[in-house]
Structure 1
């Protein structure tokens, strides 16, 4: 570990000096422009909007996400509703007894080629983290800036009615999370030392081979690995630290802040903290996220409820605005379809259901029933979108912050809008929210570092050299992201995150019958236990 930290700082220190000089002469902006010119075609393709007329434009990536989620909801006979309380009981540990095993066989299939059964219990290893830790690790990558800033922008553009469709999309997304995370456990690899390697790269490779589509599976797996690495450096790293610093700077005085111009220092501190955590892999990450995520979600929801009940006389009107706005909006861009689109867009962009990223974290769980973790995962969109995003929307609606004038806000400005809404009822809450945003950004970065590393190890091997190479690069991007103006780089990375959806959704649809078999096997085990 000492050798790792020493090598990391040996590389980091000269780059800090370079980055400081680069920002002073505007070199980062020149690099950003050149990068944008080279990658603009890819970003434009992924975020292409289909024009339906009447100011209604829809990102094409929403269609496979929502259509796929709807298909899975019906295919699995509304598992998101009939299995909801079972999922809670799994997290509570009620069914841990049937997950415990003495035999050597556990969830998973053999590596393509049949040379080794890599998902057996080796030296007592059956996974790396608990159901609860896997859930918080995955949640930490989704709960954060999108719930605070994104919702403010969505309801400003689409009106209060966007909240209704955001909830519907969140409920549908629960089915997609169930499918991808069940597959993540079913097709994972476990090394001799107990380290787990899982995610879409593995279920696309192994699962599609079992369907006679080995060539397609390999191509899709490589594409996914490339996309998840790119996404981890930008949207899961640079964007998070950049927005966190902007908020801290704004809350402490903006251009007059004592932190103004110290983005590199902020980034260095964050890089050190991130580096310390990610050295230990998913176990270390989970030990942090299982404390940060519940703590911050509880604080955020409690504060939201305080604002809502402090204005209890407006609760009825707020829900009336949501339901009326969902079906008969007035004066909102794009009318009813526009409201629906904004709600669906925010939900899809927030909970990442169907993207495939969460299955990487969930694949590390200790279990012998793949479907058990799929059921735990379906709670994610509920917590992320149905609970946290809805709370944000209600606070904004009740405090009168849903206006078309706010539709053009960027993420940093939207966070300040949400902060102001809370401040109207809790004067000191903006400072708490600032801490929350920094912690959410931090937890998102450490989770996305794990996602990116899994893609990296799939492409370049599982050696310690490759592992440390990725982690050093990731920490460097934390520093650069805090201070540099790299909008095109981050935009390209965001595009890569949603590009992950393409290979992932193809695999999910083809492998859905495998998931149904796993679900039936697990439900039968639960039924047997009850008897």
Structure 2
């Protein structure tokens, strides 16, 4: 045997050994996490007794309803002024803060607009039928009030430093707001939130995104080691986040509109080509919302899936977006609260609805010719080709635009990238809250974050991701408790701002 063949055999053996070892490491980590954290995951995502409705979704939806009523439907009353604020009509460049209203909105959106809009909606419609779309839209509209509440508080209680940087979010308003109202326990809630935020940032906001991006890329170019994708992503992510929030915002303000416009434009093209089916699709959504159209669970199943998708998609009430919005240039906290209410509208009401309409109109879900009801197999609506999740969305777009699955793969990669850089900022602010401000501490977290990018792309750590997702929604438990206690402060800020706006005291800068 020649030396080259011996060397080749040795390399092949080493590679197979490395793969086997990696698989063993994955399995070991999975077992450790599953056994030690399974109770926490089960606690967060468990359902109400006798139902399949996760209590955490109910927690978010009830809060959104309370804030909608308490602030007298602010999502509708403040909509036009929110648009004016995003345009910069009331922006004073001399105000404290790091980014514009638009940049703050883009950064927060980049953390929520992602795989949930592409794959998650397909799952919701696949289980709950077209009617899930109705409940998803309703939950998204109500979630706008939750975002308004938390982001107003984020700006009001932020820390502003001499070098022009800002730190804000639930950690700060839980501490300062509770102290201001003489309510004990704020510091404990803030520390819990920060811990959950770091765990969520490293997992769901990082490893899961890197893992999904690698799967999309390898699905097009062919199988190859995930650590290669991880290293490339880690390098690009580090190059962006090392520059701080201004660097992150300068990227997200370009990437997010590009992604959103590209995706919505493709959906609109399909809807225009099939304009004769739009009325029918809307009828399916409304009829399915209350009857289920033969889908298991009927309207209750549609409601559960719609509310669940909205909650998981726009993260209203989770508190993460308040961290990004806190860095805005303004001296009026209420202005960023108004801007933030646009986030669930864009994320859930527009983009998620577009996805659902395309899936319904392109006929990917199979119906019974005799009854018109959807055919259900193993709890899911039967689809052409038997696809689900991102595959269903890809097939729906691909049936009308043959090359769109490639664009969709690019969108998934961009969504994953933008989500990672936004969650790196959320995790960083939670990190500095716990361990203090400072360049060295910030760099340490950014390096740790990028290491987890490589791990996420290379490994298949299911229970780790499950735990980090649970941590993200544990943030909502802590955050919403705080919002209930602090919403009178937001009401006072809102009444003061609106009265000054109506009297002409607050003037346009453009």
Q: TM over 0.5, yes or no?
A: yes
Residue 323 of structure 2, aligned match among 332, 338, 360: 360
Asked whether 1:274 is paired with 2:237, we answer yes
Report the CA distance shift for 1:211/1:225 in structure 2 as closer, same or farther (over 3 A): same
Mapped contact 2:290–2:298 kept (Cα < 8 A): no
Q: 1:524 deviation in Å?
A: 2.7
Asked whether 1:443 is paired with 2:418, we answer yes
Mapped contact 2:139–2:310 kept (Cα < 8 A): yes
The count of aligned residue pairs is: 477
Mapped contact 1:156–1:405 kept (Cα < 8 A): no
Residue 341 of structure 1, aligned match among 289, 298, 304: 304
* Structure 1 equivalent of residue 220 of structure 2: 251
Report the CA distance shift for 1:23/1:158 in structure 2 as closer, same or farther (over 3 A): farther
Mapped contact 1:371–1:522 kept (Cα < 8 A): yes
- Can you give the 5+ residue segments of structure 1 that lack an aligned partner in the other structure? 1-16, 102-124
Q: 1:405 deviation in Å?
A: 4.6
Mapped contact 1:165–1:343 kept (Cα < 8 A): yes
CA distance in 1, matches of 2:18, 2:340: 42
* Structure 2 equivalent of residue 92 of structure 1: 87
Deviates more, 1:56-65 or 1:226-235: 56-65
* Structure 2 equivalent of residue 383 of structure 1: 346
Asked whether 1:79 is paired with 2:54, we answer no
CA distance in 2, matches of 1:301, 1:449: 26
* Structure 2 equivalent of residue 146 of structure 1: 116
* Structure 1 equivalent of residue 153 of structure 2: 183
CA deviation map 1:88-145 (0-9, x unaligned) = 111011222xx466xxxxxxxxxxxxxxxxxxxxxxx610000000000000000010
Residue 198 of structure 1, aligned match among 154, 159, 168: 168
Report the CA distance shift for 1:338/1:418 in structure 2 as closer, same or farther (over 3 A): same
* Structure 2 equivalent of residue 3 of structure 1: none
CA distance in 1, matches of 2:170, 2:257: 27
Q: 1:188 deviation in Å?
A: 0.1
TM-score w.r.t. structure 2 length? 0.91
CA distance in 2, matches of 1:271, 1:380: 27
- Cα RMSD (Å) of the superposition? 1.8
* Structure 2 equivalent of residue 294 of structure 1: 257
CA distance in 2, matches of 1:174, 1:231: 22
Mapped contact 1:23–1:484 kept (Cα < 8 A): no
Asked whether 1:503 is paired with 2:474, we answer no
CA distance in 2, matches of 1:467, 1:92: 32
* Structure 1 equivalent of residue 28 of structure 2: 30
* Structure 2 equivalent of residue 118 of structure 1: none
* Structure 2 equivalent of residue 227 of structure 1: 196
- Can you give the 5+ residue segments of structure 2 that lack an aligned partner in the other structure? 1-14, 367-375, 382-386
* Structure 2 equivalent of residue 262 of structure 1: 225
Q: Secondary structure at the match of 1:61?
A: helix
Residue 39 of structure 1, aligned match among 20, 24, 37: 37
Residue 389 of structure 2, aligned match among 407, 411, 414: 414
Residue 269 of structure 2, aligned match among 291, 306, 317: 306
* Structure 2 equivalent of residue 428 of structure 1: 403
Q: 1:31 deviation in Å?
A: 1.3
Asked whether 1:514 is paired with 2:509, we answer no
Q: Secondary structure at the match of 2:163?
A: coil
Report the CA distance shift for 1:187/1:350 in structure 2 as closer, same or farther (over 3 A): same
TM-score w.r.t. structure 1 length? 0.87
* Structure 1 equivalent of residue 125 of structure 2: 155
Q: Secondary structure at the match of 1:58?
A: coil
CA distance in 1, matches of 2:93, 2:216: 45
Deviates more, 1:59-68 or 1:143-152: 59-68
CA distance in 2, matches of 1:436, 1:455: 28
Report the CA distance shift for 1:193/1:206 in structure 2 as closer, same or farther (over 3 A): same
* Structure 1 equivalent of residue 371 of structure 2: none
